[in-house]
Structure 1
Amino acid sequence: MSVDRRGQAEAFDGIGQFYDDAFPHKEGQLAAGRRLAAALPPGSRVLDVGCGTGLPTARQLTEAGHTVVGTDISSGMLALAGKNVPAVEFRQLDIADLTADGPRGVGLFDGIACFFALLMLPRPEIPEALRRLHGLLRPGGLMELSMVEADLDDAAIPFLGHTIRVSGYLGDELRQVVRDAGFDIADEATYSYAPASTDVPPEHQIFLHCRRG
């Protein structure tokens, strides 16, 4: 990784097998995945950024007939993803290293699923990450993006027995950052969600339905 996120990757390596038990429902993510799968032309090429265990999104998109490439920084998560959705090409790549061309290039896509991956970046990196995703989409391509609404920048939080660093925006600022990266926001949905195995209060999740402008 060109950016040193080894601590984040190691935390998710350790979380691995417990993640899907702690987040068993994911109504918002499932709904956004269905929307993306249905809105894309049949057999589209889709990038699943921060794919985790491959569940539910990579499997959902694959079962809908799309060709999926999944990326994550955690080798542990990717090992689980390869078992959960063997038809998908999974690659260990940081979002800051995503590029269409070159030896490690991932090519261009008709759609992108980016569910909670931007949470793992310090705020100064998020606009550039969004511009990278914009550049990976073909003209008119679609992106489903989710974030937790929170006024945070690279804050250390306990998470399933590990410490991770997270960032977030309040709603209006998030929408502006996304638009500034060149996306049109067609619609949005919000959900209140609490992990099953923790005592933390419910988080406010924002799902943005975007198109490359």
Structure 2
Amino acid sequence: MVSEQSAAFDQIGRRYDESFVERDAQLAEGAWLIEQLGRPARVLDLGCGSGLPTAKQLLDAGIEVVGTDESAVMLELAEAQAPGGTYLQRDLRELSDLGEFDAAVAFFSLLMLTRSDIPPLLRQLREQLRGPRLLLIAMVLGDFDRFPISFLGVPTEVCAYPPDDLRKVLSDADFETVELREVAAEAEPNRIEVQIYLRAKAE
């Protein structure tokens, strides 16, 4: 069954990349992760979308990338724009058969879940991390669950946390927050939002 979220991103398709005016903060997070990892390294890109910018950034640095996404259209774009990764169409919460990773990234993908979905997903991720056991997350600043929005004209629902609440969710799943930044960015043309970038390490 196609979920409402995957159907939304099937509709959005290539416009997702075209919408982002600013991605400097996400690129900086990817660059930091590349510096932390030895080689070989294996990274899970949870909700990889079109493969830009993160999957391509990691692949270009010689890192193995496994990307998952619910949208077939976005995965087709990832195959074309970030070749060399392993891309799987699946529910974001289906992780247990993917093996171990040195790190995982979830840039603006967890917000597509409900708040009740996120703690068990984080605990599962923790069990599959090895070595440096790093996790990078990007969310939108807010305090809501299943909040209806229109993104690029397509309706969907999202969740968000205040910074301290997000830290606690990570802590309860046995992750230590290494750094948390709030960044104002133009998420769509003429729309500024405050984004949270969090770096964490499994305890």
TM-score bin, normalised by smaller chain = over 0.9
CA deviations 1:20-54 (Å, max 9, x no partner) are 11013311111111111110112200110000000
Say whether 1:119 aligns with 2:111. Answer: yes
Say whether 1:80 aligns with 2:80. Answer: no
Tell me, what secondary structure is at the counterpart of 1:96?
A: coil
CA contact (8 A) 2:111 2:158 kept: yes
Tell me, what secondary structure is at the counterpart of 1:36?
A: helix
CA deviations 1:158-187 (Å, max 9, x no partner) are 111111110011111010001111111111
* In structure 2, C-alpha distance between the alignment counterparts of 1:27 and 1:132, rounded to whole Å: 29
Corresponding residue number in structure 1 for 2:46 = 49
Corresponding residue number in structure 2 for 1:144 = 136
CA contact (8 A) 2:152 2:188 kept: no
Match of 2:121 among 129, 140, 152: 129
Corresponding residue number in structure 2 for 1:11 = 8
Tell me, what secondary structure is at the counterpart of 1:123?
A: coil
Shift in Å, 1:196: 3.8
Tell me, what secondary structure is at the counterpart of 1:20?
A: helix
Amino acid at match of 1:9: S
* In structure 1, C-alpha distance between the alignment counterparts of 2:131 and 2:55, rounded to whole Å: 22
Corresponding residue number in structure 2 for 1:207 = 197
Structure 1, gaps ≥5 residues long:
100-104
CA contact (8 A) 1:36 1:143 kept: no
Change (3 A) 1:124 1:5: farther
CA deviations 1:113-135 (Å, max 9, x no partner) are 11111100111111112112212
Corresponding residue number in structure 2 for 1:34 = 31
Change (3 A) 1:146 1:195: closer
* In structure 2, C-alpha distance between the alignment counterparts of 1:116 and 1:134, rounded to whole Å: 19
Alignment of 1:180-191 (within 5 A): 180-191=172-183
* In structure 2, C-alpha distance between the alignment counterparts of 1:31 and 1:70, rounded to whole Å: 19
Shift in Å, 1:139: 4.9
Structure 2, gaps ≥5 residues long:
none
Shift in Å, 1:5: 6.2
Change (3 A) 1:5 1:151: farther
Using structure 2 for the length normalisation, give the TM-score. Answer: 0.95
Of all paired residues, the percent bearing the same amino acid is: 41
Tell me, what secondary structure is at the counterpart of 2:195?
A: strand
Stretches of 4+ aligned residues off by more than 4 angstroms:
none
CA contact (8 A) 2:22 2:186 kept: no
